[in-house]
Structure 1
Amino acid sequence: MDKPIRILQVIGVMNRGGAETMIMNLYRNIDRTKVQFDFVVHTNEVGSFDEEIKALGGRIYHCPRYVIKNHIGYKKWWKKFLSEHSQDYIAVHGHIGSTASIYLSISNSYGLYTIAHSHNASGISTLKDVVYKLLSYNTRNVAKCFFACSQLAGIKRYGRQIVCNNKIFFVLNNAIDTEKYICNDCIKNKKDKELCIDESQIVLGHVGRFDHQKNHQFIIDVFYEYKKHVPSAVLILVGDGDLKNEILEKTNKMNIDDSVIFTGVRSDIPELLNAFDLFIMPSFYEGLPVSVIEAQASGLKCLLSDTITKEVDITGSVEFMSIEKSPKEWAEKIVSMLPYERKNTQQKIIDAGYDIKSTAEWLTDFYLKISENK
């Protein structure tokens, strides 16, 4: 092979979200002498990973964000782009679900292999969910292959018929570099000092963008109740998003703002997890959150909402609870889970198929087989 084949990854913006982190984990670990990634992003913003993508040999193209009223213009952009670049690619790997039926259909017309990838297992609870379902539904009739981060995420997005019966479907694990996440007392002490945390304080933590899905309001309510049991406790919230100011205001009104640390978007997640004592995620829905895999790889116990697939528990250290239960009951559950002896779980993560090296090797082979069959 004189040069690597190129795969076009279609995403919103390459910031430090769950799907984006997963894609970058794969990109760093695939054999880039054989397979290269380029990206179409639905924004003119510069993403957190853009410079690294370019350093790894990837190219970034900026597509207009779809807002229904620009339907014709959106299709024109894709037709023009692929008329100029389709010969560069073997496949289009679509991570944006709402418009996948549009750009994957156009990609089919240019003879490209099309992959739809589901990263969430959302239901229908808001008008936004309804619109998403309507827009994305036809993807099941367009894509040639279907990926999902979990069986549940596949069923929710594509339907049971496709996942279980008559289509090419794969669960692609949200794998991580397990070596980076091994719990380490020295790193913990360093992070505690950096965050002004005393080693005697209990630290609850969450990693995720500030939006409705992640249910930060509930996290704050649970923490407020937990502090009645452990007044010196600290909560660390890692991430950014539209609802961050709302949560800041809430902590201030509840007089717990001096106990809640907002770190913003961070690149040192493995080190930050060392500072946590328990990971909490009461989301309304998820696919299979990579942050929970990372937390388990760091030896943490996790308390999640029971809307999240049980597939995520790969170490036996995850417990599930209904968000219909009160914050007081969640706080009491946390009390019952702490303290515990934190252990090295690396081998469990590897055995469960969540080590990035083996996943990247599988994906490299998958893309190469597509190339061979064209």
Structure 2
Amino acid sequence: MTEPIRVAQIVGKMVGGGVEAVVMNYYRHIDRSKVQFDFLVDSDSTLVPREEIESLGGRIFEIPPYQHAIEYQRELQSLFTQEGWKIVHSHINALSVFPLRAAKKAGVPVRIAHSHSTSGKGEFAKNALKGFLKLFSTRYPTDLAACTEYAGKWLFGSSHFTVFNNAIDLSSFSFNRSIRDEQRAGLGAQDDTLVLGNIGRFIPQKNQLFLLDVFKAVYAQNPDSILVICGDGKLRPQAEEKARSLGIASAVRFLGQISNVQDVYQALDLFVLPSLYEGLGMVAIEAQVSGLPCICSERVPNEVALSGRCSFVPLSAGIEGWSNAILTTRTDVVNRSDPQASLGLESYDIFRAAPKLEEYYLKLFETVN
């Protein structure tokens, strides 16, 4: 094979995190002399790493947002026919029904549906749509993949699927005292300041509005505390206003979408993830790699607990239960450099995971050539 095979990666809206971050991490570490990625992104994406993708040999194709269903299907089918990809890999969960339907019509021989998420309570309209689309989740793909067993079974039921961990470069998240000191100084945190952290888009799923209520209770008992939230999204203005109304604005740091998230973990004392649902909760994995204790809601899959640093608190415990768990965990923080506390995290090493994905593509390519 003189030229690398090209895989069309359907990532939906690129907004600087989530699924596209996983795909980009694999892309950076895969052998690009054998496998190359082309990215199909919604035209209303806000953070497309165009320069990096093109420097690595990839291409970017902008398509209409999936909300414009007819135009979206028509443009995709035309693009699949024109470019002649042998493999299309869709990462948009239950919505993969639509691009893979177009791929099948265009005669793409290998069509992969990848589940990265699940559903949670409270999002009735979204859950109804997901429930309907799940009925067709195995109709158009030829192969199935998922970030966890939980996410795969949620979307594909009993059908066979392959798990690819949302792997990272573990060394870039390892605890670093000098970075911690620098980051805490930037946050205005002293050595004894309790610094809590959360990373995620400001959407209902991530439950940051509840986290602000919890932090108010923590702050009332420990005024020398700070909450750091990284990310952006439609609920950010509401969250900022809520912080002001709760009287905690001076102790909350809204950092927005940042590129050095691995450094922010170093500044924290505790990571908090009160999500309403998660396909995995990759940020909790990253936090554990950096040596942080994590408190997750019971709706985050148990698969995220890859070290002795991770615990779960039901959302039904309410503000008091969560604030007490945070303050209690603070008194029993493990040594952040203790390798025994990180046993199990090796399975998320991108240097081990990328060759697995590469081999997966190459084998699928062989079956159609």
TM-score, normalising length from structure 2? 0.94
Classify 1:349/1:113 alpha carbon distance in 2 versus 1 (closer, same or farther; 3 Å).
farther
Deviation, structure 1 residue 155: 1.4
Out of 231, 240, 248, the residue aligned to residue 256 of structure 1 is 248
1:181 to 2:177 alignment: no
- Match of 2:186? 194
1:156 to 2:154 alignment: yes
1:104 to 2:100 alignment: yes
In structure 1, C-alpha distance between the alignment counterparts of 2:64 and 2:362, rounded to whole Å? 30
- Match of 2:52? 52
In structure 1, C-alpha distance between the alignment counterparts of 2:176 and 2:357, rounded to whole Å? 31
Over the aligned positions, Cα root-mean-square deviation in angstroms equals 1.7
Classify 1:185/1:54 alpha carbon distance in 2 versus 1 (closer, same or farther; 3 Å).
same
The answer for unaligned runs of 5 or more in structure 2 is: none
1:143 to 2:122 alignment: no
Deviation, structure 1 residue 300: 0.3
Deviation, structure 1 residue 46: 4.8
1:266 to 2:258 alignment: yes
- Match of 1:217? 209
Classify 1:131/1:252 alpha carbon distance in 2 versus 1 (closer, same or farther; 3 Å).
same
1:292 to 2:306 alignment: no
Deviation, structure 1 residue 42: 1.7
CA contact (8 A) 1:349 1:355 kept: no
In structure 2, C-alpha distance between the alignment counterparts of 1:12 and 1:303, rounded to whole Å? 30
1:78 corresponds to which letter in structure 2?
L
Identity over aligned residues, as a percent?
35
- Match of 1:118? 115
Q: Name which of structure 1's ranges 279-288 and 321-330 shifts more when overlaid on structure 2.
A: 321-330
Out of 298, 309, 323, the residue aligned to residue 306 of structure 1 is 298
Out of 324, 336, 346, the residue aligned to residue 328 of structure 2 is 336
Q: Name which of structure 1's ranges 100-109 and 25-34 shifts more when overlaid on structure 2.
A: 100-109
In structure 2, C-alpha distance between the alignment counterparts of 1:343 and 1:74, rounded to whole Å? 47
Deviation, structure 1 residue 99: 3.3
Pairs within 5 Å for 1:127-138: 127-138=125-136
2:57 corresponds to which letter in structure 1?
G
Deviation, structure 1 residue 198: 1.7
1:41 to 2:20 alignment: no
The answer for unaligned runs of 5 or more in structure 1 is: none
Deviation, structure 1 residue 225: 0.6
Deviation, structure 1 residue 131: 1.7
Out of 76, 87, 92, the residue aligned to residue 88 of structure 2 is 92
Give the secondary-structure state (helix, strand or coil) at the position aligned to 2:220: coil
In structure 1, C-alpha distance between the alignment counterparts of 2:315 and 2:351, rounded to whole Å? 35
Q: Name which of structure 1's ranges 363-372 and 136-145 shifts more when overlaid on structure 2.
A: 136-145
Deviation, structure 1 residue 352: 4.2
Give CA deviations for 1:8-49 in whole Å, capped at 9, x if unaligned: 000122232221111111010000111100011122445242
In structure 1, C-alpha distance between the alignment counterparts of 2:154 and 2:328, rounded to whole Å? 33
Classify 1:196/1:175 alpha carbon distance in 2 versus 1 (closer, same or farther; 3 Å).
same
Deviation, structure 1 residue 210: 0.3
Pairs within 5 Å for 1:229-248: 229-248=221-240
In structure 1, C-alpha distance between the alignment counterparts of 2:229 and 2:12, rounded to whole Å? 23
| Runs of 4+ more than 4 Å apart | 349-352
TM-score, normalising length from structure 1? 0.93
Give CA deviations for 1:321-353 in whole Å, capped at 9, x if unaligned: 111111111111111111323323668366541
1:39 corresponds to which letter in structure 2?
F
Give the secondary-structure state (helix, strand or coil) at the position aligned to 1:99: helix
Give the secondary-structure state (helix, strand or coil) at the position aligned to 2:217: helix
Pairs within 5 Å for 1:41-80: 41-67=41-67, 70-80=68-78
- Match of 1:5? 5
In structure 2, C-alpha distance between the alignment counterparts of 1:240 and 1:40, rounded to whole Å? 22
Give the secondary-structure state (helix, strand or coil) at the position aligned to 1:140: coil
Give the secondary-structure state (helix, strand or coil) at the position aligned to 1:228: helix
Classify 1:345/1:153 alpha carbon distance in 2 versus 1 (closer, same or farther; 3 Å).
farther
1:365 to 2:359 alignment: yes
- Match of 1:14? 14
Classify 1:136/1:124 alpha carbon distance in 2 versus 1 (closer, same or farther; 3 Å).
farther
